[in-house]
Chains A and B, each alone.
Chain A
Amino acid sequence: MKLLSVQDLSVQFHDRYEGQEAVSHVSFEVGPGEIVGVVGESGSGKSTGMHAILGLLPKKAEITCGSMMLEGEDITPPGPKGCGRQRKEYERKMETVRGNQIAMVFQDPLTYLNPTVKIGRQITETIRAHRKVSHAEAKERAVELLDMVGIRNSTRRMGQYPFELSGGMRQRVVIAIALACEPKLLIADEPTTALDVTVQGQILELLKKISVETGTALLYVSHDLGAVASLCRRVLVMQEGRLVEEGTVEDIFYEPKHPYTQKLLSQATGLLKLPKEQHAASILLKVEHVSKDYFDAGRLHKSEKTEAVHDVSLQIGRGETYGLVGESGCGKSTLAGMVTQMLEPTAGKISYMGDKTKLKYPVQMIFQDPYASLNPRMCVQDILEEPLLLNTSDSRGERVRKVKEMLHLVGLKEEDAKKFPRAFSGGQRQRIGIARALILEPELLVCDEPVSALDVSIQEQILCLLEEIQEKKKLSYFFISHDLNVVKRISRRMGVMYAGSLVEAGNTKDIYEDPWHPYTKALLSAVLVPDPFKARRKKGILHTEEKKMEIPLGRGCPFAPRCGYASDLCFAGKPQKYQYGEREIACFLYSEEHAGKRRSGLKMTSQI
């Protein structure tokens, strides 16, 4: 017997998509213990459909459903014409289903956990809502659950608040809440999208383990084909609210039938291609031994020092893209802030070698969130004009001409100048952000995660646009991202940052083909390829419990506590930078004095 069967589910929002359904006539089934993936771009209705199963949609959503059965029990939501009593009855029934038989894990664990309620309380209240147990028993069960999802010190964690945990741990807590009453079906709505790559691997593995060990069926919603390939047995593909293809993971990935599935797959593999040839003629920006410390106002006079960036050196050539990868909190954005001169380095020097006649400091920045970084009350013309008003003495006609020119360059229309940001999609907004950065004709653009808020297909468009502009204007990019695929796609040279230090740097192609540093290896191994066979074989190297990156001041290699190859030496002293051709690496495995003398002329390869 099927665990969940949904027949003919449609959802319509009256304020959005006029007349168009967000989900339209979707039917599918989930067997007991089965792992089913749901893929599609954003706006394809996959999340809306999942929310509709649990009846979590806001009241303005109009749900019509032929039938929805959970193990023979009817949980069909009342239609839009359903009267108040039916609705009340449905709500009452769902209160016993939600969290008890079907549980849900959401995308962003920070916003889905109540910031002012302790974690323990958030777990126990779920248990107590469905089971008749005492406080003490519920607490015991909560500790057990936290252990199960891999949180150590669970008793202490119970008394903590969500903001005291890292992103991965918060997601584990949400999973613990979902598992509290041993549901038969777990719906995971993009559970790893907001997390770092290495953490993403761990959460996926946890979900898989739980499903196998407890026999919980899993509906895994994601836009990330790699994650779906590694986790799921069966896949549903959704496009614009319709279910366009359904099949086993092998069928979908190796023999996609529907053109949309083929398009999705080619996009996912499209990111795996390499950047265009770039010629770095002369050095444009030189970063030399730069450090940045933050001082926390600690107890009385002892202020606590945090090293956000420690002794980083790099060079960016004219017309070149330099990629920088690292987990969140590793100091990437601090470094970007120093390159744009928004932050002052505590030590070291950043020298700009370019032409400074037009502007005092011709470096501009593109920001991550295209929704938050544009003022909603300014029209595009005003947004683009503002840098000109502040930095140049152009006449009004001149400014209008420049704005038009920029809009053309980034692929928008002239008429768009009069519109407000809300009239544009995410990708178009990012184009406006790029135009704003380019209007002062800088020579270096700092791109701080410019595509991570966008869909894969849009990502590719934006990256292509950036490459095109680079060719036309001979720009240099300092490209920061946590997404290894994106950095590989766009940059010629790259650096890997961990806990404020640059641990490996060199040619992008070389690093991807043969990563040297254990951290780079772990990062690359965590990248999921959209190929079920390869993805399942892949095992993450980082199995140790993730910790908040604690940066030991002045002592030891920052990666040593997580490194599988660490020796006593790694805890005692910081490795220097060892240079082999274009490759720079900070790891004792590659030092001459600790790993043996090397013949000159020998080609160095990975030591692990």
Chain B
Amino acid sequence: MLRYTCKRILTGILSLFVLVTAAFFLTRMMPGSPFQTGNVTESVLESMEEEYGLNDPPVRQYQTYLGNLLKGDLGVSFKKPGVSVSEVIGRAWPATASLGALAILAAVVVGTCLGIWQASTKNRAVKGGIFFGTILGTGIPNFVIALLLMLCFGVKLKLLPIAGLKSAANYVLPVISLAVYPASVIARLMQNTFREEMSRDYVVLAKAKGLKWRRTAVTHILKNAWIPVLNYIGPAAAFLMTGSFVVESVFTIPGLGREFVNSIANRDYTLILGLTIFMGVTVIVINLLTDLLCACLDPRVRRAYR
């Protein structure tokens, strides 16, 4: 297990390196320059580029960047002089992370419950209702949901605030709009695997032992049904934790997603790279956690990791 974890961390670092390299040269290949705005003269532009080392050959720039990166220095934003990339991330991440974590939590709880309910109920109305709901949830894009929620609860009913992240109530609408899609997918997956597991032989044995249905569902079926669902939750969590630009701009939340899109528009090379690295690390870590969690649930996987 420990060996496996170490191996995963090493391959993670390797893929991170590839990511940094690719991102570095891609940003340099983008047309334009960070300082090229309408009212900058040619000479000023040149001196600025000289100042920031942008006239060096890309390979040299890459070497300098990697060297700094190893020291833990992500550099300074090109667009906001004096503000380091780490500061930008440190400022934007808490909002994104708290939103993402809440959304994934809500999606897991709601999705699992709906999935199990749909799989085990005999009531056709409930079955059909959940089925229809999850189809809608996967089909409607989250910004449409966000706008509808805003219109309904914020503008018409005036129940909830619609912008910023000042109080707990501010979280409700963005979390819902972020959670609808993953919750629907989880519900559908859960429904499928749960129904599949319900027809397994060990459920018959559990019944023959005289176990109550609820107990069988919790101790036997759920544990097995969770494993495939977990494989979706990992990537979904990584996606949510790194921020959704659309939902963040609809609710005017100062999160990572917004920073990222802005940095690309501004050609803020260091910020793009910094955010890419940060998201890469998040994705790698969350995927590792999911796989370890899978191993926790399934002894056979644990054995394979040994």
- The interface of chain A, by Cβ under 8 A from chain B, is 54, 56, 94-100, 103-104, 106, 108, 111-117, 121, 125-126, 129-130, 161, 163, 174, 177, 180-181, 299
A116 cross-chain contacts in B, Cβ below 8 A? 223-224, 297-300
Question: CB distance B211 to A111 under 8 Å?
Answer: no
A299 CA / B202 CA spacing, docked (Å):
34
- A97 contacts B223, C-beta separation under 8 Å: no
A103: chain B residues within 8 A (beta carbon): 208-209
A111 touching B201, Cβ below 8 Å: yes
- Complex Cα distance, B151 from A245, in Å, reads 76
A125 touching B211 in the complex, CB below 8 Å, given contacts A117-B223, A177-B205: yes
Please determine whether B210 and A96 come into contact, CB atoms closer than 8 angstroms. Answer: yes
- Which residues in A have their C-beta under 8 angstroms from that of B215? 125, 129
Tell me, rounded to whole Å, the shortest Cβ–Cβ distance linking A502 to chain B: 31
Q: Is the CB of B207 within 8 A of A56?
A: yes
Pair A98/B220 contact, Cβ less than 8 Å: no
Contact of A99 among B202, B209, B219, B298 (CB under 8 A): B209
Shortest beta-carbon distance, B280 to chain A, in Å?
28
Known: A103-B209, A114-B224, A117-B219; 19 extra A-B contacts, CB below 8 A, are A56-B208, A98-B207, A98-B209, A99-B208, A108-B201, A113-B202, A113-B205, A114-B220, A116-B298, A116-B299, A116-B300, A117-B220, A121-B219, A125-B211, A126-B210, A161-B300, A163-B303, A174-B205, A181-B210
18 examples of A-B residue contacts, CB within 8 angstroms: A56-B207, A95-B210, A97-B210, A98-B207, A98-B209, A103-B209, A104-B205, A104-B208, A112-B204, A113-B202, A115-B299, A116-B223, A117-B219, A125-B215, A129-B215, A161-B299, A163-B300, A174-B205
In the bound complex, do residue B299 and residue A129 qualify as a contact, i.e. CB atoms below 8 Å apart? no
CB distance from B122 to the nearest CB of A (A): 9
Q: How large is the interface on B (under 10, 10 to 19, 20 to 34, 35 or more residues)?
A: 20 to 34
> In the assembled complex, how far is the CB of residue A15 from the closest CB belonging to chain B, in whole angstroms?
14
Complex Cα distance A174/B297, Å? Answer: 22
B209–A177 CB distance below 8 A = yes
Cβ of B110 to closest chain A Cβ, rounded Å: 24
Residues of A within 8 A of B303 (CB): 163
B299 — nearest CB in chain A belongs to which residue? A161
Q: How far is the CA of A121 from the CA of B298 in the complex (A)?
A: 15
- Residues on the B chain within 8 Å of A163, using CB: 299-300, 303
B contact residues around A125 at 8 Å (CB): 209, 211, 215, 219
A126: which B residues are within 8 A, CB to CB?
209-211
The contact string, 1 if C-beta is below 8 Å from chain A, for chain B 73-110, is: 00000000000000000000000000000000000000
Q: Which of B3, B206, B210, B224 contacts A115, CB < 8 Å?
A: B224
B211: nearest residue on chain A (CB-CB)? A129
Q: Which residues of A contact B124 (CB under 8 A)?
A: none
Contacts of A112 in B (CB 8 A): 201-202, 204-205
Q: Inside 8 A of B224's CB, which chain A residues have their CB?
A: 114-116
Whole-angstrom CA separation of A95 from B208 in the bound complex: 8
Which 7 residue pairs spanning A and B have beta carbons closest together? A99-B210, A98-B210, A99-B209, A111-B201, A114-B202, A161-B299, A126-B209
B283-306 residues at the A interface, CB under 8 angstroms: 297-300, 303
Q: A93: shortest Cβ distance to chain B, in Å?
A: 11
Are A98 and B208 in contact (CB-based, < 8 A)?
yes
Tell me the smallest distance from the CB of B195 to a CB of chain A, in Å.
12
Q: A163 to B303: give the CA distance in the assembly, Å.
A: 10
B208 CB to closest chain A CB (Å) equals: 4
Pick the residue among A97, A100, A106, A181 that contacts B201 (CB under 8 A): A106
B-chain residues with CB within 8 Å of residue A115 when the two chains form the complex: 202, 224, 298-300
A113: nearest chain-B partner, CB-CB: B202
User: B200: CB under 8 A from chain A?
Assistant: yes
Q: Tell me, rounded to whole Å, the shortest Cβ–Cβ distance linking B188 to chain A.
A: 22
> Which of B3, B205, B211, B299 has the most C-beta atoms of chain A within 10 angstroms of its own C-beta?
B205
B200 interface neighbour in A111, A121, A129, Cβ under 8 Å: A111
Contacts of A114 in B (CB 8 A): 202, 205-206, 220, 223-224
Contact of A95 among B3, B205, B212 (CB under 8 A): B212
Chain A residues near B219 (CB-CB < 8 A): 117, 121, 125
- Complex: A130 Cα to B300 Cα, angstroms: 30
The A-contacting residues of B in range 179-212, CB under 8 angstroms, are 200-202, 204-212
Chain B hits for A104, CB < 8 A? 205, 208
Beyond A111-B202, A113-B202, A117-B223, whether A129 also contacts B208 by CB under 8 A is: no
For A108, give the chain B residue with the smallest CB separation: B201
Question: Of B204, B210, B298, which is within 8 A of A106 by CB?
Answer: B204
Q: Which residues of A contact B300 (CB under 8 A)?
A: 115-116, 161, 163
In the assembled complex, the CB of B104 is this many whole angstroms from the nearest CB of chain A, namely 24
Nearest CB in chain B: distance from A458 CB, A:
24
Contacts of B206 in A (CB 8 A): 114
Q: How far is the CA of A83 from the CA of B298 in the complex (A)?
A: 40
On chain A, the residues within 8 Å of B299 by CB distance are: 115-116, 161, 163
Query: CA separation between A543 and B63, bound complex, in Å?
Result: 72
Closest to B200 in A: A111
**How far does the Cβ of A165 sit from chain B's closest Cβ, in whole Å?**
12
Inter-chain CA distance A129–B207, complex, in Å, is 11
- CB closest chain-A residue, reference B301: A116
Which B residues lie within 8 Å of A121 (CB)? 219
- Give complex CA distance A96, B298 in Å: 31
Which residues of chain A are near B205, meaning CB under 8 Å?
104, 106, 112-114, 174, 177
Minimal Cβ-Cβ distance residue in B for A180: B209
| Chain B residue at smallest Cβ distance from A101 | B210
CB atoms of B297 and A129 under 8 A apart: no
A129 / chain B contacts, CB cutoff of 8 Å: 209-212, 215
CA A194 – CA B110 in complex, angstroms?
41
Q: What's the least CB distance linking B203 to chain A, in Å? A: 9
Closest to B122 in A: A59
**In the complex, chain B residues 255-306 whose Cβ is within 8 Å of any chain A Cβ:** 297-300, 303
Name, among A97, A104, A111, A125, the residue most crowded by chain B CB atoms within 10 Å (CB to CB): A125
Q: What chain A residues lie within 8 Å of B298 (beta carbons)?
A: 115-116
Contact with A along B205-241 (1 / 0, CB 8 A): 1111111100100011001100000000000000000
Among B3, B204, B297, the most chain A Cβ lie within 10 Å of the Cβ of B204
Inter-chain CA distance A344–B155, complex, in Å, is 73
